Amino acid sequence: MNLSRISQICILAFAVPGFACQSPSEAIQPNFVVIFCDDLGYGDLGSFGHPTIRTPNLDRMAEEGQKWTNFYAAASVCTPSRAALLTGRLPVRSGMMGPERRVLFPDSPGGIPEAEITLAEMLKDKGYATASVGKWHLGHLPKYLPTNNGFESYFGIPYSNDMNQINKGPTKELLSPARVEYWNVPLMRDEQIVERPADQRTITRRYTEEAVQFIQSNQQQPFFLYLAHSLPHVPLFASDDFLGTSRRGLYGDVVEEIDQGVGKIMETLTELGMAENTLVVFTSDNGPWLPYGEHGGSAGPLREGKGSTWEGGMREPTIFWWPDRLKSGVVMEMGSTLDLFATFSAIAGAEFPTDRVMDSYDLTPVLLGTGTSPRKSMFFYRESKLYAVRQGEFKAHFITKPVYTGRPENETYHDPPLLYHLGKDPGELHDVAQLNPAVLQQIGKLVAAHQAKMVPGEDMLAARGEKDF
């Protein structure tokens, strides 16, 4: 452990009651819980402005913790976004974002490369118990599953819940009402299929129960729980207790059931006296899948949704909760799921990788109220191309495409780039490029420096014909 890491722990000792300025091996190690939704829009929670979806538990979590209003996923679709969260690296570096396919499928032979270091592997080396619950989508073959990437246990569906479609035909026609047997997705425990098709009507409840059981079973050691819900990705399913209860319809039923699950996790941590030693993060993998109408969510004031590099595709509703530890309030500084790696590393006293390019920043100064966010820029990739860059309040678009529809979309190249001031215009409605040539020049220099050091990884998403299981 180097001196900079020791100094980080001493800063935590000063700012956070319960930490001690001592050697890393002796420092108190908090638990980490990441709750990751699928296709949840920026405007889909009560605390982020939705008028008809009730999310009392998440609203309380936001009130007691920190609500981040400028927090980004690293990609606008499932697989690359998840790879980025778990590795702290832009997915183009790991090959988990490619030009041929946007995500992994049941016939994909690839997955997360063995050389990548995951959050689970990093924390496991520090003595953490680790569990993955829910959607994985980083490879369904054994060597790519959670149990071979730092997680000691896994319970969930290994890819998107709309795959293995049996009843062939337009997906939209199968949604109302959706039937479990239309999608032959497997439910797995560790590396074994335990149910097929997975009964998605109860999947949110069962994920929550699995998460609670893991917390209850690991009271005597630090733990990392990665709970990645399969919903509200289409097809939508809700349990009997929630079906038909939301004013927002089925989509609202699904989100409100997820909210209840968040409440049960918070309640469990509190009852066990573990809340003050557990950092919980709630966010989503990408924006709402807008072409699905009422079955898709809302990006609120933001433009476009899933699949696009407009704000609605990658800016996510994000909440940090750590009772009596965080400086509560609304955070308007920039952050990303990429930053969870460096943040957890700093808090746990774990080694941060120095043998590779990392895209992760330590957000503890903002969480603890001791400083500002070190993230000053964000790179927006689609497939393997750099589409846009945010630097400070400004965002430049070099290429744009419509939201992800499942059909080919046309690229539009912009020279000069489109430019938006996100503080004044979060909806990206008013191009101010002509008024700010110096800003475009500055962003151009940032892009040149970034691309000079960019070495894309081997494409792990390309189809090569291997069959499902």
Active site residues: 78, 137
Collapsing DSSP to helix, strand or coil, 195 comes out as strand
Residue labelled with tokens 């709970």: 227
CA pair distance 460, 95, nearest whole angstrom? 5
Rounded distance, CA 440 to CA 107, Å?
42
Query: How many residues can be counted in the chain?
Result: 469
Compute the distance between CA of residue 389 and CA of residue 239 in angstroms, rounded to an integer. 41
- CB neighbour list of residue 427: distance below 8 Å, 6 or more residues apart: 301, 302, 303, 311
Q: In degrees, to the nearest 5, what angle opens at C-alpha 379 toward C-alphas 428 and 463?
A: 110
Residues contacting residue 80 through CB under 8 Å, at least 6 positions apart: 74, 91, 92, 96, 97, 102, 103, 381
Whether the CB-CB separation of 463 and 101 falls below 8 Å is answered with yes
- Burial (CB < 10 A; 0-12, 13-18, 19+), residue 159, is buried
Contact (CB, 8 A) for 26 and 275: no
Tokens linked to 284: 């989503």
Question: Can you tell me the distance from the alpha carbon of 311 to that of 388, in angstroms, rounded to the nearest whole number?
Answer: 10
Cis status of the peptide bond prior to 232, with omega within 30 of 0: yes
Per-position DSSP letters for 341-398, written without gaps between them: HHHHHHHHTPPPP-SS-------HHHHHTSS--S--EEEEEETTEEEEEEETTEEEEE
- Cβ of 11: how many Cβ atoms within 10 Å? 18
If DSSP codes are grouped into helix, strand and coil, which group holds residue 269?
Answer: helix
